[in-house]
Copies of this chain bind each other. A is one copy, B any other.
Amino acid sequence: MDLNFVSLPQTTINVVYSSVDLPQLQSPYLICGFPGTGYVGKIAIDHLIQELNAKRLADIYSSSFPDQIMIRTDGVAELIKNTIFYSKASNSSSNDVILLTGDSQAISPESEYLLAEQILDISAKFNTKKVFTLAASVTGVFVDKPRVFGTATNSDIVRTFSEKNILTMNSGSVVGMNGLIIGIAKLRGMQGTCLLGETSGYVVDAKASKSILERLLSVVDIKVDLTDLEKKVKDTEMLIQTIQQQVAERALQGQQPGVLRKPDIGYIA
């Protein structure tokens, strides 16, 4: 064996904590909003982080993220990362939360499993018992009131869906981190819930984000102001209106309606 060769794993993950002293959290809920179709989950979690004035707990870097640095508006570049925030409950009857957002999901199915393990490792340090992921259910059509679908790792959670205005999924699958996080959570004795906001898939959809966030807040019994999110909902509605007018005009002119194109969304999916 050639001793000069350094053996390397294919994947590395680097968790950089913001402080040496971890905060004291009481079995916080873990709530994850990964970038994905329509940025439904990410917009919801980013709003939650903002309104709860959540604090940065740790940055997660990984060789399983895209091989890029992201350039901020001030010219400073940073490796692609996921970030975990936390917020302590404002009163004893409420719940502490850990909130995950990020620039990107992992680039391969295998590395998604590994990243999910790491996120749950971090959460386990605080004795997390319940995990939520915020996802999109892509339908291809615009709707006025996006429905929210749900699946969970335990039947007692599923039974509570109807009273929270969440439609229970009864077939299919949830692909990617939103599924893996709750699936692996179950193997570790945690309970997992995935909420999916109905979205067309054509636009960044703050409307679907608001729908799932409302249901989530009801489930976890947390109150936050939604004013800023409602402004984004208005943006979404105007964008949809513009698209629908263009489609209608083409139809009037006897043209093919054409294929709706996804807008350039600036995030990395």
A residues at B contact (CB < 8 Å): 1-2, 4-16, 61, 63-79, 107, 109-114, 117-118, 120-121, 150-155, 158, 161, 168-177, 179-180, 182-184, 186-188, 192, 194, 268
Residue of B120, B175, B183 touching A79 (CB-CB under 8 A): B183
Contact A153 to B77, CB < 8 A, known contacts A6-B14, A7-B9, A13-B5 = yes
Chain B neighbourhood of A179, CB < 8 A:
67-69, 77
A92 → B minimal CB distance (Å): 31
* Given A73-B171, A74-B155, A75-B169; 11 other pairs, CB 8 A cutoff: A2-B188, A5-B14, A6-B118, A10-B111, A63-B113, A67-B180, A68-B173, A69-B151, A69-B180, A75-B168, A77-B182
CB<8 Å pairs between A and B, sample of 6: A2-B120, A9-B11, A68-B174, A68-B180, A75-B151, A79-B183
Q: How far is the CA of A173 from the CA of B114 in the complex (A)?
A: 25
Contact A173 to B268, CB < 8 A, known contacts A67-B112, A79-B183 = yes
Residue of B8, B118, B173 touching A11 (CB-CB under 8 A): B8
Copies in the complex: 4
Q: How far is the CA of A161 from the CA of B13 in the complex (A)?
A: 32
Residue of B151, B177, B187 touching A71 (CB-CB under 8 A): B151
Contact A69 to B173, CB < 8 A, known contacts A4-B16, A187-B4 = yes
5 A-B pairs closest in CB distance: A63-B113, A79-B183, A69-B179, A67-B109, A75-B158
Q: How far is the CA of A107 from the CA of B174 in the complex (A)?
A: 17
Closest B residue to A77 by CB, please name it: B151
Chain B neighbourhood of A16, CB < 8 A:
4, 187
Q: Is the CB of A10 within 8 A of B10?
A: yes
Closest B residue to A3 by CB, please name it: B14
Contact A6 to B13, CB < 8 A, known contacts A79-B187, A113-B67 = yes
Residue of B13, B76, B182 touching A153 (CB-CB under 8 A): B76
Q: Is the CB of A183 within 8 A of B78?
A: yes
Q: Is the CB of B152 within 8 A of A75?
A: yes
Residue of B14, B75, B113, B151 touching A4 (CB-CB under 8 A): B14
Chain B neighbourhood of A184, CB < 8 A:
2, 79
Q: How far is the CA of A66 from the CA of B8 in the complex (A)?
A: 17
Q: Is the CB of B75 within 8 A of A161?
A: yes
A82 → B minimal CB distance (Å): 14
Q: Is the CB of B71 within 8 A of A174?
A: yes
A49 → B minimal CB distance (Å): 22
